[in-house]
Amino acid sequence: MLRVRDPIHNYILLDELGSDLVDLPRLQRLRRIHQLGTGNLVYPGANHTRFEHSLGAWHLAGRAAAALELKRDDARAVQAAALLHDVGHGPFSHTADPLYRDYLGKSHEDLAIEALQKGAIPEVLQRHGVDPRLVADLVRGEGPLGSLVSGDVDVDRMDYLVRDSHYTGVHIGVDLERLVQDLVLTPQGIAIRESSITAAEMLLVTRLQMYAAVYLHRTCRVGERMIERAFRLALDGGEIKPEDLPRMDDLAATFLLRHCTKSDAWRIMLAVDHRKLLKVALEEPMGDYREDAITELAASTKRQQALEAEIAAALGCSPVDVIVDVPEPPILPEHSARVVLESGRVVDVDAVSSLVRGLGVAQRDHWRLRVMVPAAKRDAAPAKAGPILQRHLA
Amino acid sequence: MLRVRDPIHNYILLDELGSDLVDLPRLQRLRRIHQLGTGNLVYPGANHTRFEHSLGAWHLAGRAAAALELKRDDARAVQAAALLHDVGHGPFSHTADPLYRDYLGKSHEDLAIEALQKGAIPEVLQRHGVDPRLVADLVRGEGPLGSLVSGDVDVDRMDYLVRDSHYTGVHIGVDLERLVQDLVLTPQGIAIRESSITAAEMLLVTRLQMYAAVYLHRTCRVGERMIERAFRLALDGGEIKPEDLPRMDDLAATFLLRHCTKSDAWRIMLAVDHRKLLKVALEEPMGDYREDAITELAASTKRQQALEAEIAAALGCSPVDVIVDVPEPPILPEHSARVVLESGRVVDVDAVSSLVRGLGVAQRDHWRLRVMVPAAKRDAAPAKAGPILQRHLA
Amino acid sequence: MLRVRDPIHNYILLDELGSDLVDLPRLQRLRRIHQLGTGNLVYPGANHTRFEHSLGAWHLAGRAAAALELKRDDARAVQAAALLHDVGHGPFSHTADPLYRDYLGKSHEDLAIEALQKGAIPEVLQRHGVDPRLVADLVRGEGPLGSLVSGDVDVDRMDYLVRDSHYTGVHIGVDLERLVQDLVLTPQGIAIRESSITAAEMLLVTRLQMYAAVYLHRTCRVGERMIERAFRLALDGGEIKPEDLPRMDDLAATFLLRHCTKSDAWRIMLAVDHRKLLKVALEEPMGDYREDAITELAASTKRQQALEAEIAAALGCSPVDVIVDVPEPPILPEHSARVVLESGRVVDVDAVSSLVRGLGVAQRDHWRLRVMVPAAKRDAAPAKAGPILQRHLA
Amino acid sequence: MLRVRDPIHNYILLDELGSDLVDLPRLQRLRRIHQLGTGNLVYPGANHTRFEHSLGAWHLAGRAAAALELKRDDARAVQAAALLHDVGHGPFSHTADPLYRDYLGKSHEDLAIEALQKGAIPEVLQRHGVDPRLVADLVRGEGPLGSLVSGDVDVDRMDYLVRDSHYTGVHIGVDLERLVQDLVLTPQGIAIRESSITAAEMLLVTRLQMYAAVYLHRTCRVGERMIERAFRLALDGGEIKPEDLPRMDDLAATFLLRHCTKSDAWRIMLAVDHRKLLKVALEEPMGDYREDAITELAASTKRQQALEAEIAAALGCSPVDVIVDVPEPPILPEHSARVVLESGRVVDVDAVSSLVRGLGVAQRDHWRLRVMVPAAKRDAAPAKAGPILQRHLA
């Protein structure tokens, strides 16, 4: 048993399966992918990586499997899935997601599934008697145990919320012990005991809190979107090849972008390095716009670029330095989390928790459209960009 | 400056005003009043006292006053009010509240105000140039600064939530730094900056969480209600005098009740000492009953006793050993907390927070009617007590 | 399995053995014995009890037994011993020790052993198939597993150091996980792996630190010694009977002493209640005196009283209000802790740790003789009491 | 005031001086220098950076300056020195130190001083009325306030110990509040009050503990020495220029070394990336060797290389894959920390603390000579390398 010291879980134990997987370059690469992408531009302590998060998910999966008294084969598959679920992430974590979509036509989950289908990972799994297809199902959240790895109250989320809190310094109230100990396997899938419903509620509230404080934080978004922009310039100009994206770590990405001099990519990357960031000139609740217009805009890089070009023209600056930021619409699929009542009945969590029922609406409070411009244009931008947004989206 | 070590705030500084107040027997008595009454029956670590909580409220009041840049006189009055706000509490904290109501016709706030009107406390205040009437107003939550001491986001609540969490082991997510630093004094009273709204939301969510996990915890309620019962027997039998209640600490109360042998008071107290508690045989959401019937029942000890007698008769046990527990209806006066938007406009917190708007309803989830009976009657009780409750309340 | 929430160990599980033991009045009484006696006079948060500490020791014993892969019978005996080791403590914990010695001729360990020999405790143990004699041996630190319960790196110490830190707010660096996981059962008894020697060193350093900060803290000693004095007056005057001491909890003791009005006991107890404490007028390293004189003085209450009378006469006050405080000589039996080197050799910890070797001497730094007098005599006392001490002890 | 969220100090405030300094590329570069170099090979959470540590030192310097009631000019200089003290660090922090020594003839302190003498840093300082020479003196630990920035109990050490603990998960017991609040400015320089001597002792013990657990951890040393080796090959082969070292961050260093293909540098860097590390085949206390031989060896890269070549020849492998690791001799200059006794007398800490007196010797326990070889040679190495070391060093 290998013992790894972790500030969240104290000691994480890796058996031979775990340590053989961790030794693979695909996993070692996660050491160099920041969990929060450019989050350290706002929270200087947020330098933690997908690697330690993956170890943490493995650890919690093991504890949940023990609480559920899973059979050994299931337990090992669940742990492996938890360890491997993030293996498809690109440089700067979620920053790469829209690049994956537009240049590879894939998501990071797709890439994780691919990694489970051929190469060293399925070899190691098979050597240890674990079926890679079962692991892939679990990563997709499928099957009776799928919600442990990818669901509303899964080990991924349990680990990342507590871990992100530890490194950002944001205070949260998540009771990991209770969440992993009070799971029950029911005919409807994994459920949490009624007596621990407060722990489940707090996990979901905390997720909302962390969206507001970190994941959708104004400046974190600016950093992410600037790096995405630099990547697009380099990819469009052929200085970086799309198929290299999934192999890159944050440091290769940074170094390469610093040297992509055919376009403005190098200039943008340097600006991020020196923390000379674009400024948010306009920030509006999405509710101010037509839902269909926003949905289309969120899905189409082209439309975003057209809007950016129009605003840039109005401001008299390069479209390279204007970003219209439209985060994905928030989805809180609470219905997937289940609760076993003391009577034995299994119900959806929002049937018994008014608090959870209210979270979907509450999450919309933090869903904002933002226009990012050079510092020199910040004051002028609202008057110029506002009407353009109104015309296209209201 | 006196420096006191505190596990929540690290070091608490007491100037001469603070240390002269703390030296008074009225304040020293709070060392022997458990903050959570009988909470240690469930949470063995919950032995903390009103004394340390009062010091904590003093500390936070000082920090808030500094953040608000209050004038020295106002700052001192606010700190004194925070230190003194709990001085009227009776033995086992809130356990004594219904006894105060029924036997003295007063609340613990009334007794705190009285303590500010004559005796050693106003003398000390005046000696240090602090107006006791101003302090009394603050304790009542009146005036522009009143909401700092008694409001929705006040230093009392900030301290007790974090302190109760520390001693019970319940994980919460309260950001004290942000809450005390981001206050603004507006024409509409104290408000919190929009950028810190998440901190305010989390304080209110945490309060709900602690109600579920601790304050309304089934077994905590049993302990409280048993001691209240013992007191009533001793008071009704003349073994304890009502006017002595406000002078008692937990240990005098316990010792005296152990020796009130004319009624069953001693037996009940001994049962609590040995943790031989009544059991909750029935627990129903208040929503299952008529609101007006519940409200009347909550307000009238007589009605509760009549119901208890009826259930006891049906169960064949002494009415002394049956308790119908009807907690006060939850009130979440969110409207009193205010937020200063970035535009400068001051609004109620529930105007900008969907999460807070939902809390009022959510709190009702935890509001339950409970019937407590001897262990031997637990199984039989639901079938017997259920119809009685239905008849009177549904 | 009963699950108890604990701020130190998160959740403590009690099986039927544990929960039957905990239900006994002897154990429930520990709920009302403060772990640090009068420590809350200095650290207002230090209201924790022997009860939660006993649960914590049970918990750690279970974890250590699992790490050592003990047989079920041994594991249960070790856990029971950990849970019961403090059952003999008197009111205010160690405050009662000298009273036990002088009035009963026993130590609190003796009383714990007696409780294991007859009455409800051995009955419960036997009902669960645990041999009370084996438990008694473990409490005495005897046998190959004895050092787990009573040794240099035992579960008692592990729990109390971390617990006392949590409630006082003193920062310490103890790695419980490592200490309980890295134990090995060797022919020479329990030993800790060489790779975890730093954890063992830090436990021993922390003990020294807590002696300085808490256990021998000037004001904590004043509180303890005043209550001891009140007890002696009440015992000598027949108002309290020696045989009642082991049955008392802190609150019975406090209440009774408040009402022992034949002597000054009530006055002293009230002074402690109101925190009107004697002051330390003189504090000298023991090294300033003859070792044999100090040893004799520490062992003899008579000699202490003679010295106190002489100083009181010189100061013109009652000998009741003068205390000469001579703590027991510090003993650090490091030699009992063992380390398994990577080579497999088992050695004493001080053979491999220069740090541990130095602790014995370092502990002497905190060993002081103190003279406590009424506040009004503090300034005059050094000049009067100093020469008296010199004459008798130097 | 800019407010930065930090997991250690909660919120760190930056005034205009602080924020203008932080905006400089020299400071922003520290975002990409890991505080513990390759420490994350052992502690996956140890991804924290010199940037956040520098902010933490600034914060503590501000608090210490307030406690000491320093004049504004002194306070600002002390804070600036704390913020800038690490600005000279090279890639992977201390890993670069021997490269600086051998290729530039400088230390990282020298480079920090140079950065204070010309360029953007002194310009910003002067614009804010802070004398760069005074800041340089403080960084060197000179003048009456120098020991605050560079001494035994300085803000640098206070921050890094607590920060390294937070990210590695090693439990420590450092009381920052006490350390910064109980400082006194005496004619002999900064001193700590006698009442806080335990806090100072624990800081020094913790430093020893962290040396054992982290800074001199076997595998951390392997990672550091492998990267140093890769650098030497690249520098000697002209693929990296010495003068570029101080401008590099960790990611440029890693990326460049991955592409230095003329020598084995790329292969070593890749091995570190994939965590295929050399193994420690031999580890001996330095006390087993002649002190003068060790001192010479530590100072001379040439001698180390000769020894490595000899061992490599005996093992039949390339000298590139053999490392003889000789850490600098530990120096604990306790004498520089001072204590103000209650009598007012100022003494060295080791005059009053037996614990501190013992630390110098204790630190030697962790000073080891290590031989690192490829995994395949680990078993054979002791028998081959041992006699060679004996011959040269014993």
DSSP C200-250: HHHHHHHHHHHIIIIIT-HHHHHHHHHHHHHHHHHHHTTSS-GGGGGG--H
Residue B332: pLDDT band by 50, 70, 90 thresholds?
Answer: low
Residue B128: pLDDT band by 50, 70, 90 thresholds?
Answer: very high
pLDDT score for D337 = 87
Q: Give per-residue pLDDT as tens, C56-65.
A: 999 999 999 9
Nearest residue of C to residue D202, measured between CA atoms: C209
Find the range with the poorest average confidence among B359-363, C22-26, C273-277, D145-149. B359-363
Percentage above 70 pLDDT, chain D: 99
Residue D361 or residue C192, greater confidence = C192
Q: Which residues contact A261 (CB under 8 A, 6 or more apart)?
A: none
Task: Examine the pLDDT at C331 and tell me if it is beyond 90.
Answer: no
Strands (E), C95-226: 183-186, 189-193
* Distance from C-alpha of D257 to C-alpha of D266, rounded to nearest angstrom: 5
Residue C271: pLDDT band by 50, 70, 90 thresholds?
Answer: very high
Cβ atoms within 10 Å, residue D391:
10
Q: Which residues contact C298 (CB under 8 A, 6 or more apart)?
A: C326, C327, C328, C329
pLDDT score for A336 = 74
Beta strands at B323-325 and C10-14: parallel, antiparallel or unpaired: unpaired
C332, C206 Cβ separation under 8 angstroms: no
* Distance from C-alpha of B82 to C-alpha of B74, rounded to nearest angstrom: 12
Q: Is A367 left (phi over 0), alpha (psi -120 to 50) or beta?
A: beta
Among B161, B205, B219, the residue to mutate for chain A (most A Cβ within 10 A): B205
* Distance from C-alpha of A91 to C-alpha of D47, rounded to nearest angstrom: 16
Q: Distance of alpha carbon C265 from its chain centroid, rounded?
A: 24
Taking the Cβ of residue B244 and every Cβ of chain C, the question of whether any pair is shorter than 8 Å is answered with: no
* Distance from C-alpha of C364 to C-alpha of D272, rounded to nearest angstrom: 48
* Consecutive H or E run containing D285: strand D279-285
Q: Give per-residue pLDDT as tens, A343-374.
A: 899 999 988 999 998 888 888 888 999 999 99
Nearest residue of A to residue C9, measured between CA atoms: A177
**Residue range D37-52: average pLDDT?**
97
**Residue range C165-170: average pLDDT?**
97
Looking at CA atoms only, how far is residue A175 from chain C in angstroms?
A: 9
Chain B residues closer than 8 Å to A173 by CB: 165, 170-174, 202, 206, 209
State residue D229 phi and psi, 5-degree precision: -60, -45
Residue C333: pLDDT band by 50, 70, 90 thresholds?
Answer: low
Q: Give per-residue pLDDT as tens, D79-136.
A: 999 999 999 999 999 999 999 999 999 999 999 999 999 999 999 999 999 999 999 9
Task: Examine the pLDDT at B135 and tell me if it is beyond 80.
Answer: yes
Task: Examine the pLDDT at D161 and tell me if it is beyond 70.
Answer: yes
D164, D210 Cβ separation under 8 angstroms: yes
Amino acid at C55: L
- Tokens 């090279």: give the residue: D90
**Residue range D23-31: average pLDDT?**
97
D47, D40 Cβ separation under 8 angstroms: yes
Contact C273 B48 (CB under 8 A): no
pLDDT score for A1 = 87
Mean pLDDT, rounded, of chain A:
95
Q: Is B93 left (phi over 0), alpha (psi -120 to 50) or beta?
A: left
* Distance from C-alpha of B87 to C-alpha of B108, rounded to nearest angstrom: 8
Q: Which of A119, A113, A114, A121 is nearest to A137 (CA)?
A: A113
Looking at CA atoms only, how far is residue D175 from chain C in angstroms?
A: 6
Residue C335: pLDDT band by 50, 70, 90 thresholds?
Answer: low
Eight-class DSSP state of D262: S
Chain A residues closer than 8 Å to C177 by CB: 10-11
What angle do helix axes A50-68 and A72-84 make, rounded to 10 degrees? 160
Residue C332: pLDDT band by 50, 70, 90 thresholds?
Answer: low
Of A6, A44, A55, which has the smallest distance from its Cβ to D55's Cβ? A44
Q: Which domains does chain C have, with CATH numbers?
A: 2-211 (1.10.3210.10)
Residue C49: pLDDT band by 50, 70, 90 thresholds?
Answer: very high
**Residue range C8-21: average pLDDT?**
97
Contact D365 C357 (CB under 8 A): no
Taking the Cβ of residue A10 and every Cβ of chain C, the question of whether any pair is shorter than 8 Å is answered with: yes
Taking the Cβ of residue C342 and every Cβ of chain D, the question of whether any pair is shorter than 8 Å is answered with: no
pLDDT score for B333 = 54
Residue B5: pLDDT band by 50, 70, 90 thresholds?
Answer: very high
pLDDT score for D332 = 58
Of D205, D212, D357, which has the smallest distance from its Cβ to C205's Cβ? D205
In the sheet with B183-186, reading across from the earlier edge strand, the strands are B183-186, B189-193, B338-340, B346-348
Q: Give per-residue pLDDT as tens, D166-208.
A: 999 999 999 999 999 999 999 988 999 999 999 999 999 999 9
Cβ atoms within 10 Å, residue B381:
22
A211, A36 Cβ separation under 8 angstroms: no
* Distance from C-alpha of A3 to C-alpha of A115, rounded to nearest angstrom: 26
* Distance from C-alpha of D21 to C-alpha of B281, rounded to nearest angstrom: 66
* Distance from C-alpha of A330 to C-alpha of A319, rounded to nearest angstrom: 28
Q: Give per-residue pLDDT as tens, A211-253.
A: 999 999 999 999 999 999 999 999 999 999 999 999 999 999 9
The upper half-sphere exposure of residue C297, i.e. CA atoms within 13 Å in the direction of its Cβ, equals 24
**Residue range A17-28: average pLDDT?**
97
Tokens of D227: 């990267």
pLDDT score for D335 = 56
Q: How far is CA D279 from CA D322, D365, D379, in A?
A: 10, 21, 10
Taking the Cβ of residue B65 and every Cβ of chain A, the question of whether any pair is shorter than 8 Å is answered with: no
pTM here is 0.96
Task: Examine the pLDDT at A335 and tell me if it is beyond 60.
Answer: no
Residue B328: pLDDT band by 50, 70, 90 thresholds?
Answer: confident
Q: Which of A109, A6, A101 is nearest to A59 (CA)?
A: A6
Looking at CA atoms only, how far is residue C99 from chain B in angstroms?
A: 22
Beta strands at D338-340 and D189-193: parallel, antiparallel or unpaired: parallel
* Distance from C-alpha of C33 to C-alpha of C108, rounded to nearest angstrom: 13
Residues composing chain C? 394
* Distance from C-alpha of C324 to C-alpha of C282, rounded to nearest angstrom: 10
Task: Examine the pLDDT at D145 and tell me if it is beyond 70.
Answer: yes
The upper half-sphere exposure of residue D344, i.e. CA atoms within 13 Å in the direction of its Cβ, equals 1
Task: Examine the pLDDT at D336 and tell me if it is beyond 90.
Answer: no
Mean pLDDT, rounded, of chain C:
95
Contact A7 D252 (CB under 8 A): no
Looking at CA atoms only, how far is residue B342 from chain A in angstroms?
A: 12
pLDDT score for D333 = 54
Among A255, A256, A269, A276, the residue to mutate for chain D (most D Cβ within 10 A): A255
Contact C250 B251 (CB under 8 A): yes
Of A29, A169, A254, which has the smallest distance from its Cβ to D6's Cβ? A169
Q: Give per-residue pLDDT as tens, D238-269.
A: 999 999 999 999 999 999 999 999 999 999 99
**Residue range C358-364: average pLDDT?**
86
Among B166, B179, B286, B354, the residue to mutate for chain A (most A Cβ within 10 A): B354
Mean pLDDT, rounded, of chain B:
95
Burial of A69 (0-12, 13-18, 19+ CB in 10 A): exposed
* Distance from C-alpha of D369 to C-alpha of D375, rounded to nearest angstrom: 18
Cβ atoms within 10 Å, residue A149:
29
B322, B336 Cβ separation under 8 angstroms: no
**Residue range C314-320: average pLDDT?**
97
Task: Examine the pLDDT at A332 and tell me if it is beyond 80.
Answer: no
Tokens of C61: 């014993």
Helices marked H in chain D: 16-22, 25-28, 50-68, 72-84, 97-99, 108-117, 120-127, 132-139, 146-149, 155-168, 176-181, 197-210, 218-236, 250-258, 265-273, 291-299, 301-315, 349-352, 354-364, 381-393
Task: Examine the pLDDT at D331 and tell me if it is beyond 80.
Answer: no
Nearest residue of B to residue A211, measured between CA atoms: B198
pLDDT score for C329 = 79
pLDDT score for D329 = 79
Among C1, C177, C180, C193, the residue to mutate for chain A (most A Cβ within 10 A): C177
Tokens of C320: 């009741």
pLDDT score for C1 = 87
C312, C381 Cβ separation under 8 angstroms: no
Taking the Cβ of residue B186 and every Cβ of chain D, the question of whether any pair is shorter than 8 Å is answered with: no
Q: Give per-residue pLDDT as tens, A72-128.
A: 999 999 999 999 999 999 999 999 999 999 999 999 999 999 999 999 999 999 999
D170, C175 Cβ separation under 8 angstroms: yes
Q: Distance of alpha carbon D13 from its chain centroid, rounded?
A: 25
